[in-house]
Chain A
Amino acid sequence: MAFQPVKFYQTGTFTVGNRLLPDAERSVQANMRRTNSLNSGHRACQGCGEALGARYAIDTAMHATNNQMVAANATGCLEVFSTPYPETSWQIPWIHSLFGNTAAVATGIAAALRVKGRTDVRVVAQGGDGGTTDIGFGCLSGMFERNDDVLYICYDNEAYMNTGVQRSSATPAAARTATTPAVGPEPGNTFGQGKNLPAIAIAHGIPYVATASVAELRDLEAKVRRAMEFRGARYIHICVPCPLGWGHAPHDTIRIARLAKETGIFPVYEVEYGEVVSVSKIRHPVPVEEYLRPQKRFAHLFSPEPHKAVLAQVQAMADHNIRKFNLLEERAR
């Protein structure tokens, strides 16, 4: 039989092929000594993309720092579902201060560690899109600008889910939320520029910026690991679907996240010192309609019949991403 190289992703199933790999190359989650930093028993909804993303990201950061890590957490779903007094799911030193100050709190922790000579202990800050792109934006920009030694992770579920699905500056165009209802002549969220935080992070000239997705967990782990190899401000923006807010089945979280990537709506890429160093290519190009249709927040785009003009606008945004990041896999001619 001819030699066949091991593949991580087996065509059609996307199963993570850990068992086929030597120990050293296996994922952190597959490691018997993984830290379970966000332990089981927390109160996230079934199918929560944020809980999944946080579990992978923080366990990987712990692994990368030899468990010498402190986390600061913004107010939001992740904070509420993980620490209902008197319980906590966190197996790491963890602080929640406010909604809008997480990056600054992390700066303070990093400063304290530096002055105490504990530069072996690393700092991760994390929050949802509201805590990152809206209310925490000032502190985040300040942390970037000073290049403080903090990895900031944004779990982007594209609205204020904790307070009942209100619009944030990360909410996509046309999406229905509690404050952008699907009524009137232009239902759902308005079409604007959006607030492209990875691009804004890159504009700060920080060493490392990446986007990631819960549909590509090996890639997510690799990016967190890579981020921990740098000193200074780093930013990872993770697409984490929310069954409650997006209106999809809990078992479809990863499928929806994958469609966000495969349509080009959520480009997955990696930037070091301002240069794009990798992009996750689209394996099976699909029209945006396939991503939008299974989500109730976009139901008004298909009822009573498809709003072709709006769908074309969303498709144009996805196509723009595909061109900008050269997302299509090059095929043999």
Chain B
Amino acid sequence: MLTQTEGSHAVAEAVARCRPEVICAYPISPQTHIVEGLGSMVKSGALANCEFINVESEFAAMSVAIGASAAGARAYTATASQGLLFMAEAVFNAAGLGLPIVMTVANRAIGAPINIWNDHTDAMSQRDCGWIQLFAEDNQEALDLHIQAFRLGEELSLPVMVCMDGFILTHAYERVDIPEQAQVDAYLPRYEPRQVLDPAEPVSIGAMVGPEAFMEVRYLAHAKQMQALELIPGYAEEFRAVFGRNSGGLLHPYRMEDADTVVVALGSVLGTVKDTVDEMRDKGARIGVLGITCFRPWPHAAVRAALAGAKRVVVLEKSLAVGLGGIVSSNVHNSLAAPETPVHTVIAGLGGRTITRASLHKAFGRAISGKLEALSFLDLDRAAVDRVLVREREVRRSGPIAEAVLRDMGAPGARIG
């Protein structure tokens, strides 16, 4: 059913149609509207056969999901930012135990300085934890990826993180097609756990494993993620057959034919990137876009093939590996058939900084003309940075950094956009 609704509400409706049995929730912006929606559906009875548990922390949220999943229930939770970090130990644990929990991450920056706005630092911090990580481009895809996530996770017995940009998607009202229950039932089979805490067939889950077998257990986790690479395109295809639209898959290539410059990005910024590329194409630039939908497992072969014709690659990423530069770009670089192909890392949109078409035009234009640095920061206020650096050289007690930057900027709110 087509409806104009908030991204969080769309996701809540999708999750509800997946018939979750245990949902645990701890509030953190910008994830709150999703679990509020689900909570009210459980409370009203609209979502039957489901336990909604208000827990005391994100660490508990993931732990309750672990217990529920190990006892054979379809388990779901949602978090963001500091919450994802606070549950990190349990996030790794869920993957290590092979429990197919689905979790929405409403992507948000990590403090300090505390910041509630969107970037990808939270999800990127957990990229190697063993979860499958899918990134939604828009609200329709966010909705759709949750349905695919349960299917994929339960088939492989692996947890799946569906990442959607905080506020930009979670709080945006867009037209979405909310599927019928019958469609979801046709696509998503009943959860048949591979391991379950059952008094009729007692097993020990979570034994201590020493050097004699730890490598093998870890390798199996990797092998399962490799299986996911094979399953994901087929599940997207099946999804199209049942729901009648393209969603998910490994990559979203756009105007890649004859492109010698390719922009790689994840999430909602792809919309702005595509608009920019359209305008540049109109002026004759041979530029295309490669959207990464599946970030973990990393679709190595697919990225390699997609970038085979590129003369240069611009990776636009909403996270910063402090002391290195780009995270996504490091992955992209590994997948290039011709390693000498220039890869430009553009760090953008940290802490919700607006990414404008004007700025992208400049960056992509500089890339085409060979002037873009290997690592650059979109719309960085260099003068503000320099003022702090100068003060630190001159004054020992230079004070807290964030406050110094803000004081120098005057009224920063007026500058957003």
Residues of A within 8 A of B (CB): 67-70, 72-73, 79-80, 83-86, 88, 90-98, 100-101, 104-116, 121, 138-139, 141-142, 145-146
Contacts and interface: CB of A to CB of B under 8 A. Distances in A.
For B24, B62, B68, B75, the residue with the greatest tally of chain A CB atoms inside 10 Å of its CB is: B68
A107 B208 contact: no
Contacts of A116: 21, 71-73
Contacts of B202: 90-94
Interface string B82-105: 000000011001000100000000
Given A108-B24, A146-B53, A98 B89 contact: yes
A94 B90 contact: no
A111 B51 contact: yes
A34 to B, nearest CB: 16
Contacts of A107: 53, 55, 60, 63-64, 67
Given A93-B197, A97-B66, A97-B97, A113 B71 contact: yes
Contacts, number: 159
A242 B213 CA distance: 30
A90 B205 CA distance: 10
For A88, A90, A108, A113, the residue with the greatest tally of chain B CB atoms inside 10 Å of its CB is: A108
Given A84-B207, A96-B205, 10 more contacts: A69-B199, A73-B206, A88-B204, A96-B204, A96-B208, A97-B66, A109-B71, A115-B21, A139-B59, A142-B57
B90 A85 contact: no
Given A109-B70, A142-B57, A115 B206 contact: no
A93 B203 contact: yes
A142 B90 contact: no
A7 to B, nearest CB: 37
B48 to A, nearest CB: 10
A68 B201 CA distance: 11
Interface of B: 21-22, 24, 49-51, 53-57, 59-60, 62-73, 75, 89-90, 93, 97, 197-199, 201-210, 212-213
For A73, A92, A101, the residue with the greatest tally of chain B CB atoms inside 10 Å of its CB is: A101
A126 to B, nearest CB: 13
A142 B56 contact: yes
Given A92-B202, A109-B197, A101 B208 contact: no
A95 B70 contact: yes
B237 to A, nearest CB: 32
A68 B199 contact: yes
Contact of A105 (B63, B198, B210): B63
A-side binding surface: helix, strand, loop or mixed? mixed
Given A94-B202, A94-B204, A101-B90, A108 B66 contact: yes
Contact of B71 (A80, A112, A139, A146): A112
Given A90-B204, A105-B64, A121 B51 contact: no
B62 to A, nearest CB: 8
A302 to B, nearest CB: 38
Nearest to A101: B63
A79 to B, nearest CB: 7
Contact of A93 (B51, B64, B69, B199): B199
A79 B66 contact: no
Contacts of B59: 100-101, 104, 138-139
For B21, B65, B203, B208, the residue with the greatest tally of chain A CB atoms inside 10 Å of its CB is: B208
| Closest 4 pairs between A and B when the two form their complex, measured CB to CB | A108-B67, A104-B63, A142-B56, A112-B71
A111 B60 CA distance: 14
A304 to B, nearest CB: 43
B21 A112 contact: yes
B60 to A, nearest CB: 4
Contact of A104 (B60, B72, B73, B198): B60
6 contacts: A70-B199, A83-B208, A85-B212, A100-B59, A104-B60, A138-B60
Nearest to B195: A95
Contacts of B206: 73, 83, 95-97
A108 B25 CA distance: 12
Contact of A97 (B22, B63, B204): B63
A100 B68 CA distance: 17
Contacts of A145: 56
A97 B207 CA distance: 9
A98 B271 CA distance: 41
Contact of B199 (A67, A72, A111, A114): A67
A101 B66 contact: yes
Nearest to A104: B63
A145 B60 CA distance: 13
A92 B208 contact: no
Contacts of A101: 59-60, 62-63, 66, 89-90
Given A94-B202, A95-B67, A96-B205, A108 B210 contact: no
For A84, A112, A139, A142, the residue with the greatest tally of chain B CB atoms inside 10 Å of its CB is: A112
B89 to A, nearest CB: 6
A106 B65 CA distance: 10
Contacts of B24: 108
B22 A108 contact: yes
B163 to A, nearest CB: 23
A90 B22 CA distance: 27
A96 B207 contact: yes
A111 B202 CA distance: 19
B56 A139 contact: yes
